[in-house]
Copies of this chain bind each other. A is one copy, B any other.
């Protein structure tokens, strides 16, 4: 069983981004709800990543969440063409309708690739600013040299930020794609036939040996915190049957941050090419 080294993949991506970003004035604004501990933690992780590749950044903290206030701030950042080249919203933002607020972001500054225009372009095969987790999964697949055409791929997740856009990216590459989730009645029947299984449920150890076939490749984007440790979706018994698997932590996570840096560079280039 080959353990896919997410940190190494991320490092290579970051290296390329850093080289290309030299002498470019890339500056990212991150909107954070300061009363959410997890948000604060993730925004710090992002800041460190921005520093590594030489981006400037500005983290804007909200102590109260108010859609009108958020909207106003986004408008200001959108219009600030000399300074801010990328905007991202650190989730969760309780009480805020993310689908509504994401539409307010300038399409070309949307480094999360979640604006409907960008998501729609992704579906249509005009892939530019792609959501970060699906993009990371694609980068891992490419890095590992996994051919997608005609492969049986099963995704366990049908969210807006992971499962749905990921399914589109895989269909764009002619994989056969089945999307499962909590309402799926016979999960095992799907997962057993997967050549490539991508899981992102946050249910620790959900995928056991009985769920997979020998030689499957597994990408585990699940995250579950328990007792100060982080666990993925895949049980050791399933991992043993895999030809290759991403670990948790150190798999999809670091590549997701690297993918956001890639998006930030692309967003800059899209703005400057006009």
Interface, chain A (partner B; CB < 8 A): 99, 115-126, 149-150, 152, 158, 160, 163-165, 167-168, 171, 174-181, 183-186, 189-190, 193
Chain B: CB-nearest residue to A175: B183
Closest 4 CB pairs of A and B: A120-B120, A116-B120, A119-B120, A178-B178
| A186: chain B residues within 8 A (beta carbon) | 152, 193
Shortest CB-to-CB span from A73 to chain B, Å, is 22
CB neighbours of A163 from chain B (8 A): 171
> Per DSSP, are chain A's interface residues mostly helix, strand or loop, or mixed?
mixed
**A164 to B, closest residue via Cβ:** B123
**What is the distance, in angstroms, from A248's C-beta to the closest C-beta of chain B?**
24
Name 19 A/B residue pairs within 8 A (Cβ), A-sorted: A99-B125, A99-B126, A116-B119, A116-B124, A116-B126, A119-B123, A120-B122, A123-B164, A123-B165, A150-B183, A152-B186, A158-B174, A164-B171, A171-B181, A175-B183, A176-B190, A177-B179, A178-B190, A189-B193
A183 to B174, CA, bound (A): 6
Taken together as a complex, chains A and B put the C-alpha atoms of A181 and B176 apart, in Å, by 7
Check if A176 sits within 8 Å of B168, measured CB to CB. no
Q: How many copies does the complex hold?
A: 2
Give the residue name and chain of the B residue nearest to A165 (CB).
B123
* CB-nearest residue of chain B to A159: B171
In the bound assembly, the distance between CA atoms of A156 and B190 in angstroms comes to: 17
**Given A99-B124, A117-B117, A167-B171, 6 more pairs with CB closer than 8 A:** A119-B124, A120-B122, A123-B168, A174-B181, A176-B181, A176-B190
Q: Is the CB of A167 within 8 A of B179?
A: yes
Q: Would A160 and B99 count as touching, CB distance under 8 A?
A: no
* Contacting pair A164 B160 (CB below 8 A): no
Residues on B with C-beta less than 8 A from A179 are 167, 171, 176-178
How many angstroms from the CA of A99 to the CA of B120 in the assembled complex? 11
* Contact assessment for B160 and A125 in the assembled complex, using a CB-CB cutoff below 8 Å: yes
**A184 CB contact (under 8 Å) in B99, B165, B176, B185:** B176
